[in-house]
A = this chain, B = another copy of it.
Amino acid sequence: MTFPALTRLAQTSVPGGTEVRDEESSVHDQVYEALANRLIQGQLPPGKSVSLRTLASGLGVSPMPVREAVRRLIAQKALELQPSNKRLRVPSLSEDRLRQLMMARQWVEPELAFRAVAAMTRDVIAELKADDQRLMAALGKGDVDGYMQANHAFHFRIYRLAQADLFLDMAKTLWLQSGPFMRVVFGRLGTVQLPQDHHQELIRAFETGDAGAVRQHMSDDVHEGMELMLEALKG
């Protein structure tokens, strides 16, 4: 679970070091993106404990920007402070919480897809098809990580088109929360019986501009994935 150091940050840097601020995002942002990616892709399992200093040295930065990134992730419930310890870890999901997650995702993501219809272009559809091919290829190879990444790329390529920042943020937060658990479930099941993907139908609906069908297929896709997680949690 070592983290590749942030390449952009090579040139650190004694106290109050000499950074060029313009045109590049802050260290805090880079740390946040690095952690968020790993969470969404499920590279940090639920219950995994993490620590500021470990993360910081792994990324080659001081604990300071890590604290801010972590605080942000805690606000999104993507990390939590154990009340007893005050120690940091990746949260586990109760069935109750998973059900709420499922309901929320099923509300916001079809809406995002619906709104994306108007902004859809041939180019983006081509990219979606590429995402879906990567996804199917990963399925074929039993590559769970590849599946997780391609699935994420596919969905958020759509959501970004919706021009709905608030909803997009909600979706990001919900994925951050479900990522670790989703990875465990899919890893356990193997990639064989992964959900019948509705991506093909989704793409077709985008091509014909049928917004109602887009909404429905996205709803089905989310529903099926979450149902799988629910079964895994109970079983």
Q: Nearest chain B CB to A232's CB is how many angstroms away? A: 19
Task: Report how many residues on chain A are interfacial, defined by Cβ distance under 8 Å.
Answer: 27
A76 within 8 A of B: yes
A71 within 8 A of B: yes
Cβ–Cβ contact A166 & B71, under 8 A:
no
A77 touches which one: B67, B68, B96, B169 (CB < 8 A)?
A: B169
Cβ–Cβ contact B166 & A101, under 8 A:
yes
A87 within 8 A of B: no
Cβ–Cβ contact B166 & A100, under 8 A:
yes
A166 touches which one: B72, B104, B163, B165 (CB < 8 A)?
A: B104
Contact of A170 with B169 at beta-carbon distance under 8 Å, contacts A72-B71, A75-B76 already known: no
Given the complex, which residues of B lie within 8 Å of A100, measured CB to CB?
Answer: 164-167
Q: Which of A91-148 contact B (CB under 8 A)?
A: 96-97, 100-101, 103-104, 107-108, 111
Q: Which of A158-179 contact B (CB under 8 A)?
A: 163-167, 169-170, 177
Distance between Cα atoms of A75 and B76 in the complex (Å): 7
Distance between Cα atoms of A37 and B177 in the complex (Å): 26
Given the complex, which residues of B lie within 8 Å of A165, measured CB to CB?
Answer: 97, 100
Which B residue's beta carbon lies closest to that of A166? B100
Contact of A75 with B77 at beta-carbon distance under 8 Å, contacts A166-B104, A167-B104 already known: no
A72 touches which one: B72, B169, B177 (CB < 8 A)?
A: B72
A213 within 8 A of B: no
Which B residue's beta carbon lies closest to that of A115? B100
A75, A77, A104: most-surrounded residue (chain B CB, <10 A):
A75
A74 within 8 A of B: yes
Which 5 pairs of residues, A with B, have the shortest CB-CB distance? Answer: A75-B75, A100-B166, A72-B75, A68-B71, A71-B71
A sample of 6 more A-B contacts (CB under 8 A), given A71-B71, A100-B167, A104-B108, is A21-B86, A77-B169, A96-B163, A100-B166, A104-B170, A166-B177
19 pairs, CB–CB < 8 Å, chain A vs chain B:
A67-B68, A68-B68, A68-B71, A71-B71, A71-B72, A72-B72, A75-B75, A77-B169, A97-B165, A100-B164, A100-B166, A100-B167, A103-B111, A104-B108, A104-B166, A104-B167, A107-B107, A166-B177, A170-B170
